Amino acid sequence: ELFTMFFNSVTNGGKTTLAEKLKNMLPNCDIISQDDFFKPESEVETDERGYKLYDVLDALYMDEMVTSIRNWMKSPASSGVVTEEPQKTRDNQKNVYILIVEGFLLYNYEPLNKLWNRRYFLTLPYEECKRRRSTRVYQPADTPGYFDGHVWPMYLKYKNELEENASMQVDYLDGTKSQEELLSYVYSDIIKELNKLRE
């Protein structure tokens, strides 16, 4: 059995930390990160203000990402995922392979839409998002005004597109909550889903 969950988040929303913690708690669990599919800087477009347009699908090798997910789904056992000893896992979770896909632009790319069991979206208010972003070092580094000029507007555009799409089944999570609270909620949600899968 395969179970795939997608974590989408505003920049610095906490998705990577959450994904890593879940991986340690769940049997036969693996992570694919959208950040690993960025094009090199030379291939990323620049707008008229001189901003590198990283927060758009064109900045990513999305077809390669889909291929990686599909390859994992074809043979999860050969993906290098750590297989737990059976007695450590609940009986009803044996032989379920779990894939966490985490990124910031996952839900408006059509080829990904058939590959998920659960979708989560971590949100943050503007001030908190900007504060967290300012504490991180990026390669290439954010240019002055980049957050307000590109990052935040693209996030709002993307989130609005999702909210306007009635068929989108997404569980929105408040990224200002503690990691423990978020982890507890998502973990129990996944266990419920896995139990349904095994019924």
- Per-residue pLDDT, 73: 92
Residue with tokens 């839900």: 107
Q: Is residue 116 part of a domain?
A: yes
Provide the CATH number for the domain around residue 171.
3.40.50.300
Of the residues 35, 36, 148, 171, only one is catalytic, namely 35
Low-confidence ranges of the chain (pLDDT < 70): 79-94
Percent helix, strand, coil in the chain, to 5, is 45, 15, 35
Q: Is residue 108 part of a domain?
A: yes
Side-chain-side CA neighbours of residue 14 (13 Å): 22
Q: Is residue 87 part of a domain?
A: no
What is the domain count for the chain? 1
Q: Is residue 83 part of a domain?
A: no
Q: Is residue 17 part of a domain?
A: yes
Q: Is residue 134 part of a domain?
A: yes
pTM confidence score? 0.89
Instruction: For residue 57, give every residue at least 6 positions away whose Cβ sits within 8 Å of its Cβ, in sequence order, or none.
Output: 105, 108, 109
Which residue range forms the structural domain that includes residue 156?
A: 2-78+95-198
Q: Is residue 121 part of a domain?
A: yes
Q: Quick check: is 35 catalytic? A: yes
Q: Is residue 47 part of a domain?
A: yes
Tens-place pLDDT, residues 40-98? 999 999 999 989 999 999 999 999 999 999 999 998 877 655 555 444 445 545 578 99
